[in-house]
Structure 1
Amino acid sequence: MSQDKSFRAAETMMGMSDAAWSRHTNPWSGWSRLSVLPLLALAAWSRVWIDWWALAPIALVIAWTWLNPRLFPPPASTDNWMSNGVIGERVWLARSQDPALAHHRPVVRALTALGAIGALLLLAGLVLLDLALTGTGLAVAMLSKLWLLDRMVWVRRDSLKDEAS
């Protein structure tokens, strides 16, 4: 599956309407959403302590993932890094093939691949119950997501420049 298709599939799976995107630009939504991977790792690891009951916290994390972009009101201002990153994600979904944004493609691809590697390491660590592998995967996945989010801020700025010209 191509990168653009995977981004669109995630957006569709999350049911991201215009209203949900507007609410998700609230920095509280963006920052609190960073809790998803650590909570998911903890929920998966909890099988060691609570066996099959671990499915309950996993289900709660999945529910939190879906609820988060809808929970907060649209922000009074989007003049902050997180809001611009979320807006940039939406711009990227709509315009990733735009020649004006072409210089971002290699970096977005590399960061997406790095995030996928981190997710695979995280998954392996959780399956094997290896704390070092889990922590490494979590760190790689989260740092690549933050770096990608920073790139989305840049995408947002470039899209504003392109609209102004």
Structure 2
Amino acid sequence: MMDIYRAAERLMGMQDTDWRRHANPLSVWTRFTCLPLLVLAIYARQWIGWWALPLVLLAAVWTWVNPRAFRPPEDFGSWASRGTLGERIFLARAEYDVAPHHIRAAHVLTALSAMGALPLIYGLIVLNPWATVLGLIATILPKVWFVDRMVWIHADVTQSTPGTALPDPTLPFERTTQ
């Protein structure tokens, strides 16, 4: 069965150094600009025609560059940093004891985000601003909640408290199978 989360990670080409950089809160918060910029670029075809294509390309480049654009933080204790670290644990959930309720919640939130993409796509096709904005919000809000769930996963697996200093983002020891 295809793991959509792993497929996205492979598509982005994320390596350990990229993940450390992406744990910078500036990277996490500016990451939420990627979809709105792409949507705006696509919607711009209404005003500038084919000249919107370079804007779409720029938005796609920003989506790839964003996790790599910032230095790793000195402290990985922020909500945003822990969300990134939790996502790494979630991606490697076969090696960690991630509670089933976290996995279920992540799947539900991903499905909600995908359902939000339906009015977004419709709005972009027919150039309906209300459907586009509704879809954009319905796509992004579950993603924010997903990041919050990743913070919770990080806290559970590492037995740490969100908001406290975390100078070393080393992931906990992976579960060994015998």
**Could you say which TM-score interval applies, normalised by the shorter chain?**
over 0.9
Local SS of the residue matching 1:62: helix
Deviation digits for residues 43-100 of structure 1 (CA, Å, limit 9, x no counterpart): 0000011101111000000000000111100101011110111111111001157454
Alignment: residue pair count: 162
1:128 equivalent in alignment to 2:126: yes
Deviation at 1:101, TM superposition (A): 2.1
- The superposition leaves residues 98-136 of structure 1 with CA deviations (integer Å, 9 ceiling, x where unpaired) of 454212122111100000011222111101111111011
Report the identity percentage: 46
User: Aligned equivalents of 1:97 and 1:112: distance in 2?
Assistant: 21
Structure 1 unaligned spans of 5+: none
Q: Answer yes or no: is the 8 Å Cα contact 1:96–1:105 preserved in 2.
A: no
- In 2, the alpha carbon distance for the partners of 1:61 and 1:100 equals 34
Q: Report what 2:92 is aligned to.
A: 94
Tell me if 1:51 matches 2:78. no
- What TM-score, normalized to structure 1? 0.93
More helix by share: 1
Structure 2 gap segments, 5+ residues each: 161-171, 174-178
Q: Structure 2 matches for 1:132-143, cutoff 5 A?
A: 132-143=130-141
- For the residues of structure 2 that align with 1:109 and 1:33, how far apart are their CA atoms? 20
Aligned to 1:60: 58
Tell me which residue corresponds to 1:20.
18
The residue type paired with residue 151 of structure 1 is: R
TM-score by length of 2: 0.86
RMSD, aligned α-carbons: 1.7
Paired position in structure 2 for 1:104: 102
CA distance in 2, matches of 1:123, 1:100: 33
Following superposition, the deviation at residue 161 of structure 1 comes to 2.4
